[in-house]
Amino acid sequence: RPGGITAEEAQRSSHLNIVGMVGSIDNDFCGTDMTIGTDSALHRIMEIVDAITTTAQSHQRTFVLEVMGRHCGYLALITALACGADWVFIPESPPEDDWEEHLCR
């Protein structure tokens, strides 16, 4: 019975109600509005953006920030919207081949 339970075990535990909670910062689980960890990751990213913005402005420089998210661009997209970023690259919509030239213009 690898990975399974017997009918007797199921009957003894029939009063239990079990709920699964997705623990992922990527917010990439189908059917959920927001996974556990996404909000705290976004909050931490915004703290860093605030700190970097001050430095970038004082040095009159452009900064590139890479955020977590593996193959899901949710955190990058929401961060870009929240901080008013000029550019955002996300895996769901890869940049065109000449993006560097367009950015420099």
Beta-carbon contacts of 82 under 8 Å, excluding residues fewer than 6 positions away, are 42, 46, 49
Catalytic, 33? Answer no
- The structural domains of the chain, with segments of one domain joined by +, span 7-104
- Tell me the pLDDT tens digit for each residue of 9-37: 999 999 999 888 888 888 877 877 888 88
Handedness of CA 29, 32, 36, 41 (dihedral sign): positive
Q: Look at the pTM and tell me if it is higher than 0.75.
A: no
Query: For domain 7-104, which architecture applies?
Result: 3-Layer(aba) Sandwich (3.40)
